[in-house]
Amino acid sequence: MKHAHIAFIGGGNMATSLIAGLVADGYEPQRLIVSDPVPATLAGLRGRFGIRTVADNASALREADTLVLCVKPQVAASVCRDLAPAISERIGLVISVMAGVRETAIQRWLGAAIPIVRAMPNTPAMLQAGAIGLHASDHVSAVQRNEAETILRAVGMVRWMTDEDQMDAVTAISGSGPAYFFLLMESLERAGVALGLTAEDARLLTIQTALGAARMAIEGGDPPDVLRARVTSPGGTTEAALKVFATAGFGDLVARAATAARERAGQLSDHLTEQS
Ligand SMILES: NC(=O)C1=CN([C@@H]2O[C@H](COP(=O)(O)OP(=O)(O)OC[C@H]3O[C@@H](n4cnc5c(N)ncnc54)[C@H](OP(=O)(O)O)[C@@H]3O)[C@@H](O)[C@H]2O)C=CC1
Ligand SMILES: O=C(O)[C@@H]1CCC=N1
């Protein structure tokens, strides 16, 4: 299949993750173009992936069929409004990875009745191990949904959401989720050092354990609670540790953290919706 010409607006963490995944999946680098105001960012992307780069956003659109918005939500309105005059019929699809920015707001700022798909990937997309939530606005055709899905599938597993509000929950669970697992790794690593391991041993044992646990959960077919029970010998060491987690309200803490992330996505969305 011939790949689309894709223009990325904003060349930061998320654009880099997506580009890394797409290039690893066989996308021709010459079909990918990035615009970003920072010359060093563009030079880094050119050097690493051999893609094309430009300093101004409108120029990135010249040959593109698909536009991927990868800027921070806070600059979404001004970036889209500046892009509006450069939007032509050639652009068949806009994909936005911006947290908490609603499809109606993007439509309004771009000033064009253009099909929009919201995607919420996460940084493991860099290794083609991303988890991605997708939502399509009403006038996105099956062909355009397929196109968005093909691009995002190149960097991970995709799940379609039926309701745009669910994208805030996706953001809270898998968009921000890698940070939660990294936090647990950092804490476990520190605990290992406090218990007498070398820093290197604590880190390697922790990371390999995270990988092994994730692989068991994905490849084994048993749900996490069954896998956890299998590690937990009655009266044993795991049970002693899990009791501490339970007493401290670990489950509630995780639920509160995820709710805070979802509420922040909602706040961003309310705030941005007010910008005409
Ligand atoms: N990081 C993550 O894990 C995830 C992020 N997202 C979403 O992806 C989007 C990007 O996040 P992330 O990549 O982390 O952020 P970054 O800050 O790493 O990337 C944004 C990039 O856009 C550049 N930029 C700023 N202003 C403009 C402009 N006017 N035109 C073009 N480029 C501009 C920034 O430059 P400068 O640094 O100079 O400001 C920066 O290089 C956000 O909306 C976020 O919600 C979604 C899923 C996961
Ligand atoms: O922290 C953020 O706002 C972005 C969205 C999901 C992950 N990073």
For the chain, the farthest-separated pair of C-alpha atoms sits apart, in whole angstroms, at: 68
Helix (H, G, I), strand (E, B) or coil at 160: strand
Ligand with minimal distance to 56 CA: 1
Among residues 116, 156, 104, the alpha carbon closest in space to that of 132 is found at 156
Give the whole-angstrom CA distance, residue 219 versus residue 62: 44
Give 215-259 pLDDT, tens digit per residue: 999 998 899 999 999 999 999 999 999 999 999 999 999 999 999
The β-bridge partners of 53 are 34
* 57 within ligand 1 shell (Cβ under 6 A): yes
> Residue with the nearest Cα to atom 3 of ligand 2?
99
Q: How far apart are CA 39 and CA 180, in angstroms?
A: 32
Identify the bridge partners of residue 8 per DSSP, sorted by sequence position.
34, 68
Round the CA-based radius of gyration of the chain to a whole number and report it: 21
Q: Percentage of the chain with pLDDT > 90?
A: 87
Query: Given this model, what pLDDT does residue 141 score?
Result: 94
Cα–Cα dist 213/207, whole Å: 10
Distance 171 CA to ligand 1 centre (A): 15
pLDDT for position 184 = 98
Residue numbers in the chain where pLDDT is lower than 70: 1, 273-276
- In the reported structure, the alpha carbon of residue 99 is separated from the centroid of ligand 2 by a whole-number distance in angstroms of 6
Report whether residue 175 contacts ligand 2, using a CB cutoff of 6 Å: yes
Q: Which atom of ligand 1 is nearest to the CA of 14?
A: 13
Give the ligand 1 atom nearest the CA of 41. Answer: 41
Any bridge partners for residue 54, and if so which? 35
In short, whether 97's Cβ falls inside 6 Å of ligand 1 is: yes
Residue 128 is classified by DSSP as: T
Q: From the CB of 176, is ligand 2 less than 6 Å away? A: yes
Q: Is 70 in the pocket of ligand 2 (CB under 6 A)?
A: no
The residue type of 244 is: V
Contact by Cβ (8 Å): 107, 137: yes
Contact 59, 35 (CB under 8 A): yes
Give the DSSP H or E segment for 184.
Answer: helix 177-194
At 44 the pLDDT is: 98
Give me ligand 2 centre to Cα 54, in Å: 25
Cα of 7 from ligand 2 centre, angstroms:
21
Find out whether the beta carbon of 17 lies less than 6 Å from any atom of ligand 2: no
Q: Give the ligand whose atoms come closest to the C-alpha of residue 260.
A: 2
C-alpha to C-alpha distance for 55 and 9, rounded to whole angstroms: 10
User: Quick check: CB of 120 below 6 Å from ligand 1?
Assistant: yes
For the CA of 121, the nearest atom of ligand 1: 47
Test site for ligand 2: of 97, 167, 171, 271, most ligand atoms within 8 A of the Cβ:
171
- What ipTM was estimated for this complex? 0.97
Q: What separation in Å is there between the alpha carbon of 16 and the centre of ligand 1?
A: 10
Name the pTM for this structure: 0.93
Task: Give me the pLDDT at residue 246, please.
Answer: 97
